[in-house]
Structure 1
């Protein structure tokens, strides 16, 4: 082979490799999320507004209200794709529903993004957890509208029965879902749980912590946090890195034993049982929000601009996962 032909072949191969790299990575790495990703705050508001106006409140005992909320979520998912299903399960004689939207490849590894749609007691649950559900819906819409080159299937799941009296029982909707994945032998790259992402404060000492953490983290409740237990460090680091790169909100993280108060306080805990990597995105709940589980957890207490940044950051993180 003469030298000129060899140079021509090598040049052609370099061109192919460069083109392949640009095709696979330009969308995610060479554009900034700040330029690329519009987040529709009006849709976030509308989703929270609908859920908080369901009466009586959407708790485990008001099944008609849970079903009305589930139907709304199903309808919103259905605008994105026809790959949406109810995952039904029974607690005693009563039937409850998870709602699942799937996007991306049919087979292979998956990513789960989830949020619970029930409330604790008789309160509207704007932050806990209409904010998480609104974030879930908006991230799904963004995947549909931005059309990233997904290498893995993403399941967006709205869970029933996260709140008491079913919290930390096998009757949680997320427990049912996690068990079904394990039984089917599904390989999970990661589970991302959206738990209270709407309440923020710029006031000094508006953020509280378990005693051992006070000296480490900010005293203003103006950030979002990524939380995982021991063994989830890689997922937590990934989420923090890409949320920081893809949004304009401060992102803190914590990897700690589940015995630390708050670390296992949502649906992600059920995936750990099956050795699935799972982490929670949260504003730290009762360590910040004075309206936690009260009738005052209303839509007017939420910061939709900061919510939008969280949504943008989580979107950016999952399409890189």
Structure 2
């Protein structure tokens, strides 16, 4: 598919005030669009990655499912145009990941290939043991609080990673999460700075007791975009991804208020700069890997409030972990038995779970709909609460899932080879 000349000119009118070379690992479809935007961009290497890692062996077809990934150097000022071209022309989110060097890009793709092979590693025992505790906490989750957080975040002019509004939104969330944790001296709330842009990620840590070195991560992304996003662009991002951040926020509120103390350490993360190559989560996941952190599970919440398909929660089976996906499906059937679970794919680098997957950690992406049915208003000024009916009933399902995930995986279970 060829980019229309007017669209191409608009996308290339980048608002970024800086320019620096970065390396991308990018799926084959995205690479073809990149060549239209920047014909001089040449693939330095190609890798064939399996993209069925999130399926149990018995679910996989005889023909292995693969995707070609290219390593390319580009100017970072091109990233918003690339993201929007992929979104508009291919109906994908993401499609690429940013790296600091060619060596880093090679290492990441190699690690992703290893993760996709699903070799035996230390993994939690996914037996459900916390029904009484989870069932006592679930009724405390309130749709009104989800609505309030989505409303607060989407009220910013935009939350783009280079604008003052993106910085201010991150600062607001930091203060809000501090307030939720204010009665708990053990809970840590911090901001994480990233090189090359001003928006910070925000992390809440609830320390574990008997297995504090084992870490459970629940994430969503903080930034919003309409592609060619400038300081004054209107990019409310109510669904993408204020809904995911609101879902995390409500779980934090309930666990903090209930004085919940996990055995494993829980980390709730709102990532900066997801919309331009998973930059915030890529940085944070790489830091955890460098520190040899024992991350036993990652749950990513990217868009939770638009029910565009018949099933309620879709689990994405590419660049995710099969055993953890089965565990998450079991959480839904146990704690929300009326809900239906579907399965789909979203392609290379579609959201922040991919940053953790490429570092070898077990990651799962529960999504609001089938990929072809996601909210049609995202990446536009129409991604508002009003266009979601001024309700958060669908996001509440994901809050219940996230809470059950945090409590079941946060407790002290045995660890075994899978």
Band the TM-score falls in, shorter-chain normalisation: 0.7 to 0.9
Aligned counterpart for 1:232 among listed residues 321, 335, 338: 321
Match of 2:190 in 1: 85
Aligned mate of 2:300, from 193, 198, 201:
193
Which residue is 1:75 aligned to? 175
Q: How does 1:44-193 map to 2 (within 5 A)?
A: 44-55=146-157, 57-62=158-163, 64-79=164-179, 80=181, 81=184, 83-91=188-196, 94-105=197-208, 107-121=212-226, 122-163=234-275, 166-167=276-277, 172-193=279-300
* Partner secondary structure for residue 225 of structure 2: coil
Instruction: Note the C-alpha offset of 1:247.
Output: 2.8
Q: Does the 8 A contact of 1:27 with 1:148 survive in 2?
A: no
> Are the structure 2 counterparts of residues 317 and 251 from structure 1 closer, same or farther at C-alpha, using a change threshold of 3 Å?
farther
Aligned residue among 355, 364, 367 for 1:279: 364
1:289 aligns with 2:375: yes
Query: How far off is 1:265 after superposition?
Result: 1.1
Give the TM-score taking structure 1 as reference length.
0.75
Query: Would you say how many aligned residue pairs link Structure 1 and Structure 2?
Result: 266
Deviation sequence 1:30-75 (CA, Å, 0-9, x none)? 46628853212221111111111112x111232x111111112111
- Helix, strand or coil for the counterpart of 1:99? strand
Identify unmatched segments of 5+ residues in structure 2.
1-126, 227-233, 410-418
Between the aligned partners of 1:231 and 1:54, the Cα distance in structure 2 is 32
Unaligned runs of 5+ in 1: 1-24, 202-206, 208-219
Structure 1 stretches of 4+ with a deviation exceeding 4 A read none
Given the superposition, is the C-alpha separation of residues 286 and 297 from structure 1 closer, same or farther in structure 2, using an over 3 Å criterion?
farther
What's the TM-score, normalizing by structure 2? Answer: 0.59
Query: Over aligned residues, Cα RMSD in angstroms?
Result: 2.5
Cα distance in 2 for partners of 1:143, 1:35 equals 8
**1:209-259 residue CA offsets vs partner (Å, 9 max, x unmatched):** xxxxxxxxxxx3x5122224366111111111113322366242537xxxx
| Aligned: 1:313 with 2:401 | yes
Range moving further from structure 2, 25-34 or 282-291: 25-34
